[in-house]
Structure 1
Amino acid sequence: MKIGKIPPGVLQGVVFRRTGAQRKEVVVGPAVGEDAAIIDIGGRYVAVHTDPITGSVKLLGYLAVYIPTNDIAVRGIPPMWLSVALLLPPEVEEGDLDVLTAQIDAAARELGAAVVGGHTEVTTAVTRPVAVVTAAGVGERYVTTSGARPGDVVLMTKSAGQEAASILATDFREEALRRGVSPASVERAGELARAVSVAREALAVADLATSMHDPTEGGVANGLAEVAYASGVSIEVDPGSVVVYREVEELCSAFGVDPLETLSSGVLLATVPPDRLGEAEERLRKLGVSFSQIGRVTERRGYLVKIGDRLYREPHVEDKLFTLFS
Structure 2
Amino acid sequence: MPQLGKINPAFFKKVIYPRLGVKDVSVLVKPQSGVDFGVVVLGRQVMALSCDPFYIARELGIEKAAWFAVHILASDVAVSGIRPRYLAVDLNLPLGMAEEELVLMWKVVHSECKKLGIAVVTGHTARYAGCNYPFVGGATMFGVGSRKKLIIPRSRVGDAIIVSKGPAIETTGLMVAYFPGFLKEKYGESVLIAAQAVYYQMSTVKDAMITASVGGVTAMHDATEGGVFGGLYEMARHSNVGMRIYQDDIILPGAVEKTCACFGIDPYISISEGTLLVTVRQKKAEGVVAALKNEGIPASIAGEVVPEKEGLFILIKGRRKRLEYPKVDPFWIKFEEYLNKK
TM value normalised by structure 2: 0.87
Q: Which runs of 4+ in 1 moved over 6 A?
A: none
CA contact (8 A) 2:55 2:69 kept: no
2:130 alignment counterpart:
125
CA contact (8 A) 1:181 1:251 kept: no
1:311 alignment counterpart:
322
Structure 2 unaligned runs (5+)? 338-342
Q: Quick one: distance in 1 between partners of 2:188 and 2:10?
A: 41
1:94 alignment counterpart:
99
1:9 alignment counterpart:
10
1:173 alignment counterpart:
180
User: What is the Cα-based RMSD across aligned positions, in Å?
Assistant: 2.1
Residues 136-190 of structure 1: CA deviation (Å, up to 9, x unaligned): 1012131133x11111111111121111101011122234445x24333222222
Identity over aligned pairs, percent: 28
CA contact (8 A) 2:56 2:133 kept: no
CA contact (8 A) 1:261 1:317 kept: no
Q: Quick one: distance in 2 between partners of 1:173 and 1:312?
A: 32
1:158 alignment counterpart:
165
2:89 alignment counterpart:
84
2:331 alignment counterpart:
321
CA contact (8 A) 2:52 2:139 kept: yes
Residues 223-265 of structure 1: CA deviation (Å, up to 9, x unaligned): 1111111111111111111112111111111111111111111
Residues 45-71 of structure 1: CA deviation (Å, up to 9, x unaligned): 100100125594424312211112111
CA contact (8 A) 1:302 1:313 kept: no
Deviation at 1:193, TM superposition (A): 2.3
Deviation at 1:307, TM superposition (A): 4.4
1:210 alignment counterpart:
218
| Aligned mate of 2:227, from 198, 219, 225 | 219
Residues 179-217 of structure 1: CA deviation (Å, up to 9, x unaligned): x24333222222222222222231222232111111101
**Structure 1 residues 182 and 100: CA distance shift in structure 2, 3 A:** farther
Compare the two structures and name the one with the higher helix fraction.
Answer: 2
Residues 252-298 of structure 1: CA deviation (Å, up to 9, x unaligned): 11111111111111111111112222332332233232111111111
CA contact (8 A) 1:80 1:137 kept: yes
- The count of residues paired between Structure 1 and Structure 2 equals 323
Residues 106-127 of structure 1: CA deviation (Å, up to 9, x unaligned): 3322211122232333334334
AA aligned to 1:100 is: M
Tell me the secondary structure at the aligned position of residue 301 of structure 2. Answer: strand
**Structure 1 residues 283 and 177: CA distance shift in structure 2, 3 A:** closer
**Structure 1 residues 175 and 123: CA distance shift in structure 2, 3 A:** farther
TM value normalised by structure 1: 0.91
